[in-house]
Amino acid sequence: MNIITAADDNWAIGNRGELLITIPADHRFFRQETEGKVVVYGRRTLSTFPQGLPLTGRVNIILSSDPQYRAKGALVVHSLEELFEELEKYDKEKVYVIGGESVYRQLLPYCRLAHVTRIHRAYEADAHFPDLDAMPCWQITADSEEQTYFDVTYHFLKYERKE
């Protein structure tokens, strides 16, 4: 499985249910990486999408502990066991975990690749991604040139889990 996120200098990913910043090139990268693939995310992440609808052009799987929760256009699973059973139908290389914080933390141990847009700024935040730089099992294997969006600089990084 893969994981994809944008995180600031403190590994923050969101505040009050919103992204920290919207960077068009990051959105393009996300779309290119995930189109035609399987995306796994939580119920609160779905609520942040336009009109609260699942992403088009992808298989959407929502992990929610609420047994009554349903989402039109998405498959809802209620446990990791149920999720892994559903994921058996798909190529693991084409599965992307896309948030939020709780889902990232639960599924990071099962991921082999992490695509991280590192935003070189610190924002006020209430949601964070695990600090991959502090985890010896992860290493950076690709780093883009520095990118700029107005006064914000960022890099596209690829982390791989060490075998």
pLDDT bracket for residue 163 (50, 70, 90) = confident
Q: How does pLDDT run across 97-136, given as a tens digit for each residue?
A: 999 999 999 999 999 999 999 999 999 999 999 999 999 9
Q: Which helix (H) or strand (E) holds 38?
A: strand 38-42
CATH number at residue 53: 3.40.430.10
Domain containing 47: what range?
2-161
- Quick one: tokens of 125? 């935040």
DSSP 8-state assignment for residue 57: T
* 3-state secondary structure labels for all residues of 118-154: EECCCCCCCEECCCHHHCCCEEEEEECCCEEECCEEE
User: Based on the structure, what is the number of domains in the chain?
Assistant: 1
CA 140, CA 40: separation in Å to the nearest integer?
Answer: 23
Give yes or no for residue 54 having a pLDDT over 90: yes
How distant is the alpha carbon of residue 69 from its chain centre?
21
